[in-house]
């Protein structure tokens, strides 16, 4: 998953402020939520900016999916690796697998969250594209008159 610094750099490159220092300001997370129509009505400044955000979330999704495969591989290895059958070893393996199952659950939640935001940003981008196309068509009609 991308670090907070990488997210802040992306945000700055497309015009979001990583954090506002003025009382009542918002963070990048709030800005992104607003960009999706869940906040104060902020809209993407351009379709290209929406694509940058979408691609960032897609990179995160790919990373989460790779991590999921790694988690599943380790669970498999713990399940079939030759461990001693003494109570301490058995308990160690059980706790390790329980931790990995919880990590997989968290990872699945992150994947669901990321896919949800990709869908939301793509929907906002389509709305932006449609409104830009309508504006161009309206301009063409008025120029042609």
pLDDT single digits (tens) 44-63:
667 888 889 999 999 999 99
Residue 22 lies in a domain: yes
Q: How far apart are CA 44 and CA 143, in angstroms?
A: 27
| Enclosing domain of residue 114 | 4-138
Q: How far apart are CA 81 and CA 88, in angstroms?
A: 16
- Mean pLDDT across the stretch 68-77? 95
Count of domains observed in the chain:
1
Q: What one-character-per-residue DSSP string does 91-107 give?
A: HHHHHHHHHHHHHHHHH
Residue 98 lies in a domain: yes
pLDDT single digits (tens) 78-105:
998 888 999 999 999 999 999 999 999 9
Q: Does 132 have pLDDT greater than 90?
A: no
Residue 15 lies in a domain: yes
- Mean pLDDT across the stretch 3-12? 56
Residue 112 lies in a domain: yes
CA angle 119, 122, 126 (to 5 degrees): 135
Give the pTM: 0.59
Nearest to 10 by CA among 38, 63, 48, 39: 48
Kindly tell me the burial class for residue 63, based on how many C-beta atoms sit within 10 Å of its own C-beta (0-12, 13-18, 19 or more): middle
Q: How far apart are CA 58 and CA 38, in angstroms?
A: 21
Report the greatest alpha carbon distance in the chain: 88
CA distances from 143 to 12, 120, 135 (A): 37, 35, 12
Q: Tally Cβ neighbours within 10 Å of residue 100.
A: 17
Kindly tell me the burial class for residue 103, based on how many C-beta atoms sit within 10 Å of its own C-beta (0-12, 13-18, 19 or more): middle
Mean pLDDT across the chain, nearest whole number? 76
Residue 144 lies in a domain: no
Q: 144 or 94: whose pLDDT is higher?
A: 94
């Amino acid at each position: 998953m991308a670090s907070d610094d990488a997210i802040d750099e992306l945000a700055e490159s497309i015009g979001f402020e990583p954090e506002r220092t003025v009382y009542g300001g918002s963070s990048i997370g709030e800005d992104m939520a607003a960009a999706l129509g869940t906040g104060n009505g902020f809209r993407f400044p351009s379709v290209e900016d929406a694509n940058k955000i979408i691609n960032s979330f897609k990179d995160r999704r790919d990373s989460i999916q790779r991590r999921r495969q790694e988690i599943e591989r380790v669970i498999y290895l713990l399940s079939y690796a030759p461990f001693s059958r003494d109570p301490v070893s058995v308990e160690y393996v059980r706790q390790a697998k329980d931790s990995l199952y919880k990590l997989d659950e968290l990872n699945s939640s992150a994947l669901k969250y990321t896919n949800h935001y990709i869908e939301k940003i793509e929907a906002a981008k389509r709305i932006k594209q449609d409104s830009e196309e309508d504006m161009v068509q309206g301009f063409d009609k008025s120029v042609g008159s």
